[in-house]
Amino acid sequence: VPVEDILGKTEVTVPVLDNDEDPDGAASELTVTTDASTASVTPDGELTVTLTEGRQVITYTATDIDGLTAKAFVKVPGLTDQAPTLRPGITPLEVVSGEPLPIDITDYVLVVEGKTPRLTTEEKVTALEGTREVLSTTEITYTSAADYVGPAAVTFEVTDGSGPDDPDGHTALLTLPISVVPPENLPPELSTPTLDVAAGEEASIDLARFATDPDGDPLTFKATGQAQGVTVSVEGTTLRAQATPDVPKGSVVQVPITVTDGEHPPVEGTATLTVVASTRPLARANPDTVDDAHQGKATTVPVLANDSNPFPDTPLEIVAASVETGSGDVSYSGGDVVVTPADSFVGVMVVVYRIQDATKDPDRMVEGRVQLKVLGKPEAPATPQVVEVRSKTVVL
């Protein structure tokens, strides 16, 4: 019989048949008898033992339906053998992190009837994951470490004597389990993430850097809206943003986002996206040459055909064209420059044109040149002059 089963009692009932067996029958059919003066048998076949000052060994006999018998023993501690122990079934004491937990050991420690538990010395009281303060011989205050949450304990030496030096007192080192819980769950806090996105490019940012949860709960992020010219998505804690090439640099876009800890309604916030100049290379306008242009006649030059485009999904666009050297007119349409040399011009004519890429950023515009060799019209033949007249022949 465990000591804790007799604490505070004058007798104890032992279900002796629970661990007995009959090889050719059922244990429930066994009959229990005993000759011990301090024990008796209940109608259910259990032994009721009256406790004494000293330890007892009770002999009992089990008889089956065939009359066969066997003897066994029950060891029962004496009243003077009872060391202090914790009450059976104690669950961890619960306390909010950082708050004091008063503990009266008489509420949790069992001793022999007629005695009272008390602490032996303050030095033998220790705390796990926190601090303790001994207020009296039976009172302790436990306080967890700042921001700690989880299992903890307070351990103390206790006696049922009049003091630590009482030779008749029984001592024991006991540990009370404690569960430190977080304060009332609080919602997460969300600051404003800022992200630079190059026109036509994608950028990302970790939203977890801008959110905190006082309780350490896992957080879930969402983008709850979009902005014109910018596509936004959230994967885990990563916000990804992609600006279309034609969004003007310097544009500032506010994208609504939320964060939740699963305990509270989502906390709303915004991510600020600033569109900056594209980091892609500039377009390259390669030179064009026309070797047989004619004065007064229009020549169409597909200038964009040999130019390099950093945004291949969006065609380059001609935004201006003019005559740099020579004389004539110039116009443009689509990807072509149309040059008409003057009626009287002969020689080399140079036309300059400007192109823009998908960003339409003026700082990304580049110039290209077209060189034309303009040929003149043939002159009218001169009047022939007679040099010599011969028989039926004229020499001019």
What pLDDT is stored for residue 151 in this prediction?
Answer: 95
The pLDDT value given to residue 54: 81
Give the pairing type, strands 39-41 and 47-50: antiparallel
What does the pLDDT read at residue 140? 97
Given this chain, do its domains 189-276 and 288-375 carry the same CATH topology? Answer: yes
The string of pLDDT tens digits covering residues 56-79 is 899 999 998 888 889 999 998 887
**CATH of region 85-181:** 2.60.40.10
- The domains of the chain are located at 3-81, 85-181, 189-276, 288-375
pLDDT, average across residues 25-48 = 90
Residue range 266-292: mean pLDDT, rounded: 95
Mean model confidence pLDDT for the chain: 91
Tokens coding 298: 């229009």
Q: For residue 93, give Cα distances in angstroms to 133, 144, 150, 152.
A: 17, 12, 12, 9
Give the architecture-level CATH label for domain 288-375: Sandwich (2.60)
What integer pLDDT is reported at residue 381 of this predicted model? 64
- Asked if the model's pLDDT at residue 25 lies above 90, the reply is no
Length reported for the chain? 396
- CA of 37: how far to CAs of 11, 12, 56, 154, 265, in Å? 13, 14, 11, 43, 70
User: What pLDDT score was predicted for residue 396?
Assistant: 67
Do 135 and 145 form a contact (C-beta atoms < 8 A)? no
Handedness of CA 219, 224, 230, 234 (dihedral sign): positive
Q: Tell me what percent of the residues of the chain surpass a pLDDT of 70.
A: 95
- Residue range 189-276 forms a domain whose CATH class is mainly beta
Instruction: Check residue 365 and give its pLDDT.
Output: 96
Q: Does domain 3-81 have CATH number 2.60.40?
A: yes
Question: 3-class DSSP state for residue 75?
Answer: strand
Mean pLDDT over 85-92 rounds to 89
**Residue 267 or residue 76, greater confidence:** 267
pLDDT score of 142: 98
pLDDT greater than 70 at residue 261: yes
Grouping H, G, I as helix, E, B as strand and the rest as coil, residue 319 is strand
- Among 9-13, 235-239, 270-274, which stretch is predicted with the lowest mean pLDDT? 9-13
What is the band of 379 on the pLDDT scale with cuts at 50, 70, 90? low
| Confidence (pLDDT) at 3 | 74
Q: What pLDDT score was predicted for residue 214?
A: 82
* Predicted local distance difference test score (pLDDT) of residue 26: 83
**Which has the minimum average pLDDT: 28-37, 39-48, 65-74, 378-387?**
378-387
Q: Please state the pTM of the whole predicted model.
A: 0.49
Report which residue type is found at 281.
P
pLDDT at 113: 74
> pLDDT higher for 168 or 106?
106
